[in-house]
Structure 1
C-alpha cells in the first residue's frame, strides 16, 4: 500500500502533472513543531442522512445538513428504504470528495480511504479508481493511499507510521484517534453561528437558539414512538409524549422568528454542506414557501395525504426540515447548539462572489493560496469554481487583511491547516450592514476550516500557466460509460494538459460515472467556452 505504479486506463499519452505544492507540505508549514509527526489525512465527506456503507455509519453527535437531509422527507432517510440514495451518497462522499483532495495531498501524509462495501470486487474497484486518478502525478508527488473498512478501522503506526489524524469534516468515529485538533472545536469553527459571532465582517445576523433537547428515544415516550422504535431516526409525527411536545414548542419559536423577519433575508442551518441548508428569501412568496418547508401540517405536503396509516412511517403528513433538524439535538451534543437557525441580512447588490483559500498556521498567520469565483445552481448549491491566475496577486493584496483576521480566529480555537472563506463583494463599503458595525465591501458569508472544493485550482497554477492557460475551472460531472470512454472522447484536451481528472468513480451496474474535472482556458472567455462544451456533453452533479 505504498507507492502507486498503476498506469492510465487507456493508451492515451497523458502528461505528468506537477503541483505547485501539496497538502502534506502545507500541513508541515502550518505547524513546524508537529512536522515530524506523520499525519494521516481523512478527506471524505459525511452525512447525517444515511449510513455511507456497512462500516461507515451516519453522523449523530455531529450533524451536517447536506442536500438529502434537507430536501427529503423523514421517512425516506432510512437505510432500508433508500438503497439507491445510499449508494449515490457513498460514491460522492467516500470516493469523489477524498479522491479530489488526495490528488493534491502529496507524499508524506497518507490519505485514508474507506471502502464502499465489503466484497472483494467492491474493494478492488475502490482501489482501482483511486489509484488510476493519482497515477498521472509525478512519482515524487503521488500520495500514499491507505484503504480500510471505515472510520473505526484506521491503522495507526505499523507499516504506514501514522501518528496523528488530520480530517476534512468531523466524523463521529474519529473520537478514538489522536487528532490535530479536537472534534468539538472543529465542528464549532465550521458552524454558522460561530462565524456570526467571530468578529469577522459578516452580514448582520440573528441566531435563533434551541432550548434543551427532546430526550432519549424509546417506547416509553408514547404509543407512536413505540410503533417506530426499531428505526427511530427522527421524533415521529404523531408523537404525543414529551419529545413531541418539545419539538412542537421549539419549531414554533423558529417559525415565529421567520414570520417576523422582513424580506429579503438569508436563512441557514448550523452545518451546511455543498450549499445545502441555505435559503435566499427575496419575496413574500418565497418566505411563505420557506415556512411551509420548515414545518408542514397534515395535508400541506403535496402527495402525502394518501399515505397508509399502517406503514409505521414517521412521515405521515406532518413533516418538514425542522423535524429532521431538531431531532438531531441530543443530550450528547446540545452544548454545540446543532439545531440553531441563523437568519442574516441579504448582501445587497453583490458584484462578485469569491472563494478565498489560505493556510492558517498554528501561530495565527495566513498564507494566501488563491481566490476563485464560485459557481452555484439556481438553488444555491455549489457546482464548481473558476480561477484567473493572472489576477491572483491583485486578489492577494485585496484579501490579505481579511484572511489574516480569519487565520487568527481559527488559530485561537486550536485549528491549523487549509481554510476557505466565501466573500461577497459590494461596489462600495457599507451597502450591507455588517455584524461588527464596520463599513466593509467584503462580507464573509461562509467559513470552512477544511480543504475546500476549489483548493486544487491554485495548486495547479504552474501546470496551466506554462501551457499558456491563464484560467481554469473545476466542476463535477456525471457521464455515460466509464473512464476509458471519457478519456477517448476528450483525448486531445487531456493529452495537451488542458483538462485533468481530479476524481472518478464508475458504477458499471447503471453504466454511469461521476467525476471531478478541471478545464483550462487561455482567458476567461476561452474557459467559459471550453467548460460549456464539457457541460453540454455531461450532466451536472451537486453535493
Structure 2
C-alpha cells in the first residue's frame, strides 16, 4: 500500500469528513480540504501534487550522536539560484518581546504532531492521557491501529515528526527546535536531518533555527544544549517531566471544543454531551472476552461482545451520546472533543447524512467505541470523550482565519487575517492572505482578537493563537448565555501555531517583490524535491514559490510537502495554484 493510498484511506488530512463518507460541506464551513487534481475540482473532493529529488547520503559516526545540534547547512541545487528568505519577525523574537518570563531564557521549541491511535515509533508512543482524535483514529479500523502496521506508522511519522515540525521551524528563528527521528536506523537519521536542513537552508542565516534531533519526547537533551524551558504546539504525554512555558492540562482544555463552547467567546450555540466516569475495571478482570484480548500493547478497545463492567459502562455512555445525536434536528455540526489535523468534525445538513452518521458512530468499530475505550482514571476529569453538537451559522458572508501572538499581559500582536479563496466554479479552494487588506481587517476584528487574547492569557498561555471566524449578514445568537448577538462567530480556536502562520511573517518578502497575495498548502507528489523545484525553477528563483517543509519517502518514490506561492493579485494567485494542481497528485489547503 502506498503512502498516497494510506492518506486517502484515512479521509482528508485536513477536512470535515464523515467516518463512512464525506458529508456535504457548505460555504460557511471553514476547513482544510483535499481536492483531486482536476481543473473543475469541486469543494469537498481531494487535491494534490508530484515531486522528485536527489540526496546526498550521510551516515552516523562514532563522533556523531543520534541527536545533533547546530545551524542548518546550505545545500544548493546545481544551476538554480534560490533567493535568501528574510522573515519580518520570528517566533523567537515574539516570545522575547512577550514579557519578562521568557525574555532572557533559552526556549526549546517542539512542533511535532501527536495522535492517540498508534505509536509513531518505539520512542514516541501514542498519547493515552491527553487524547487526540486525528483522521486515522476516527477512520482506520481498530485491527489496523497496531504496532505491526508499519505503513500507517510511517505515513503518520512523516507528517507528524518531520513535515509539521519543519513548517513551524521555518518561522521559529534562532532558537533550538527539537525534532524527533522517524526511527533510529543510521540511514533514516541522516535522511531526517537532510530534509529539515535543506528546507531551512534558504532562510537568512540570522533566522535559522538550531536543530536538536533526538529519538522521542522522553529523551530531549535539555542540559546538553542549555535549554531552560520548552514551548510546544500539541500536548504530548511525554512532555510532562520538562519545564514548560504553559502547563499541559490547561492547554489541552483551551484547545478542546468544549473549552471553546464554555469560553464566553461568541461561538455558535451548542450542547455538550459529557461522559460520566471511566470503565470501572481493567481488561484482565472484566470478562472472558477482555481477558482473551491479546492486543494490550496496541489501541485499548472494549469489544462489542464484552459482557463485563467495561462493556456495560460503554453501552450506557454510548447510548447517551447516540440519543443526543438522534434527537437533534438537522442541520447541525458534530465535533469530537479534541482533534488534530482537521478531523473529528461532521457537518450534517440532511436526514440521510444524519442516519449515516448515527450508523458510523454506533458501529462496533466506529469512532465512538474507540474513543470511549480510551477514557481512564487519569484523564476522565478532562471529559475527553465528550461530543459537541452545535448550530450552524446562518447567512454567512465572510470566512476568516485570524492569527495573532498573545503576550504575558493579555495584549496581542496581530499577525494576519486570511480569507477564503473561490475559483471560477464558485468552489472553495483554500485560504489566502492579501497584504494590502491586513490593516483594515485588523481594525475590523480588533475587539474580538483582544477578547480572545485576554481569555487565553488568563489561563496561563503565551504564544501564537488562531481563530476561525464567520461573519454573518445580520447579528445572530451565540453561546455566551448573556444575550449577546453578533455578526462575528468563532467556530474554532487553535491555541498553537497554525499551518498558515508563515504567511504574515513573509509580508516583506512578497510585497518587496510587488506580490500582494500569498497562499500556503500541502502537496503529495511523485518523486522528490529537486524535480519539483526544477519544474517551477523560474518561480523559485524569483521568490514567488518556495518549500516550507518536505519529506520524501524513497521506498515509495513519493513526497509530502508544504509550499508557499505569491502573486501580484488574487487572480494571478489562483492561476499559480491551478497550475500546481494540474501537475500534481494531491494538494491540501
Query: Is 1:251 aligned to residue 297 of structure 2?
Result: no
Q: Do 2:581 and 2:587's aligned partners in 1 also have CA atoms closer than 8 Å?
A: no
RMSD over aligned Cα, in angstroms?
A: 1.7
Match of 2:443 in 1: 397
Match of 1:88 in 2: 155
Match of 2:190 in 1: 124
TM-score for the superposition, normalised by structure 1 = 0.92
1:178 to 243, 247, 268: 243
TM-score for the superposition, normalised by structure 2 = 0.85
Query: Is 1:60 aligned to residue 60 of structure 2?
Result: no
Give 5+ residue unaligned stretches, structure 1: 297-317
1:33, distance to aligned residue in structure 2 (A): 3.0
Over 3 Å counting, the alpha-carbon distance change for 1:525 and 1:216 in structure 2 is farther
Q: Do 1:384 and 1:453's aligned partners in 2 also have CA atoms closer than 8 Å?
A: no
Tell me the alpha carbon deviations over residues 337-370 of structure 1, each in whole angstroms, 9 at most, x when there is no partner. 1011101101112222211000111111111110
Query: Is 1:369 aligned to residue 415 of structure 2?
Result: yes
Match of 1:47 in 2: 115
Distance 2:371 2:450 in 1: 34
Query: Is 1:143 aligned to residue 209 of structure 2?
Result: yes
Match of 1:234 in 2: 301
Q: Secondary structure at the match of 1:255?
A: helix
Give 5+ residue unaligned stretches, structure 2: 1-68
Distance 1:128 1:289 in 2: 45
Alignment of 1:267-306 (within 5 A): 267-296=334-363
Q: Do 1:434 and 1:440's aligned partners in 2 also have CA atoms closer than 8 Å?
A: no
Distance 1:390 1:375 in 2: 16
Match of 2:290 in 1: 225
1:325, distance to aligned residue in structure 2 (A): 1.1
1:11, distance to aligned residue in structure 2 (A): 3.2
Distance 2:139 2:398 in 1: 28
1:5, distance to aligned residue in structure 2 (A): 2.7
Tell me the alpha carbon deviations over residues 318-340 of structure 1, each in whole angstroms, 9 at most, x when there is no partner. 22111011111110001111011
Q: Secondary structure at the match of 2:285?
A: coil
Structure with the bigger RCO (C-alpha within 8 Å, sep 6+) is 2
Match of 2:469 in 1: 423
Distance 2:584 2:358 in 1: 35
Q: Secondary structure at the match of 1:370?
A: strand
Match of 1:311 in 2: none
Distance 2:206 2:307 in 1: 62
Distance 2:317 2:294 in 1: 22
Q: Do 2:109 and 2:176's aligned partners in 1 also have CA atoms closer than 8 Å?
A: yes
Distance 1:212 1:229 in 2: 25
Query: Is 1:72 aligned to residue 72 of structure 2?
Result: no
Tell me the alpha carbon deviations over residues 360-388 of structure 1, each in whole angstroms, 9 at most, x when there is no partner. 111111111101135799xxxx9853111
Q: Do 2:526 and 2:585's aligned partners in 1 also have CA atoms closer than 8 Å?
A: no
1:218, distance to aligned residue in structure 2 (A): 2.4
Distance 1:233 1:486 in 2: 41
Q: Secondary structure at the match of 2:155?
A: helix
After superposing on structure 2, the runs of 4+ consecutive aligned residues of structure 1 that deviate more than 4 Å are: 374-377
Distance 2:421 2:463 in 1: 24
1:27, distance to aligned residue in structure 2 (A): 1.1
Match of 2:508 in 1: 462
| Farther-moved stretch of structure 1 (26-35 vs 115-124) | 26-35
Distance 1:383 1:453 in 2: 15
